[in-house]
């Protein structure tokens, strides 16, 4: 993504809770050295 770009993500899996999904996104962002911001839930 370009700096300031948007990433849309979703999950339809009943195997992953919302908390687990958010943790996965935060962990991936940390590993990539980027900051995420939720703009709508």
Q: For residue 10, what pLDDT is reported?
A: 85
Q: For residue 30, what pLDDT is reported?
A: 96
CA distance 20 to 25: 9
Q: For residue 12, what pLDDT is reported?
A: 84
Q: For residue 15, what pLDDT is reported?
A: 86
Q: For residue 20, what pLDDT is reported?
A: 92
25 phi and psi angles, rounded to 5 deg: -65, -45
Mind listing the pLDDT tens digit for each residue in 1-41? 888 888 888 888 788 898 999 999 999 999 999 989 888 76
Q: For residue 41, what pLDDT is reported?
A: 65
């Amino acid at each position: 993504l370009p700096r300031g770009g948007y990433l849309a993500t979703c999950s339809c899996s009943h195997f992953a809770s919302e908390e687990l999904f958010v943790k996965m996104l935060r962990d991936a962002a940390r590993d990539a050295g980027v900051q995420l911001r939720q703009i709508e839930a």
